[in-house]
Amino acid sequence: MKHQQSSMYVDLQQYQLHIRRLIPLQHSLSPILFLHGAIENGRIFYSHSGKGLACFLADQGFIGYCADFAGRGLS
């Protein structure tokens, strides 16, 4: 992998929003926000083993943010 992954949590009034951040190890390009569909969660874009669209783009130099909507994934 040519990127690092970490989880961030945003405390809101009724729940905690989970956002997965993917940062390239080399220079950074523009940030990209990944939003999943109604029955998915943010893991559709990344895996811990480095597979998925967000991981691929992070390896190319883009910063990725994958959000889990309320009631999905780790939110």
List, for residues 8-61, the tens digit of each pLDDT value: 999 988 889 999 999 999 888 899 999 999 899 899 999 989 899 999 999 999
Q: Residue 40 carries which side chain, given as an amino acid letter?
A: E
**Sign of the dihedral defined by the CA atoms of residues 41, 42, 43, 45, in that order:** positive
Q: Which residues of 49-63 are buried (b: 16+ CB within 10 A; e: fewer)?
A: eeebebbbbbbeebb
**DSSP letter (8 states) at residue 69:** P
0.75 cut: is pTM over it? yes
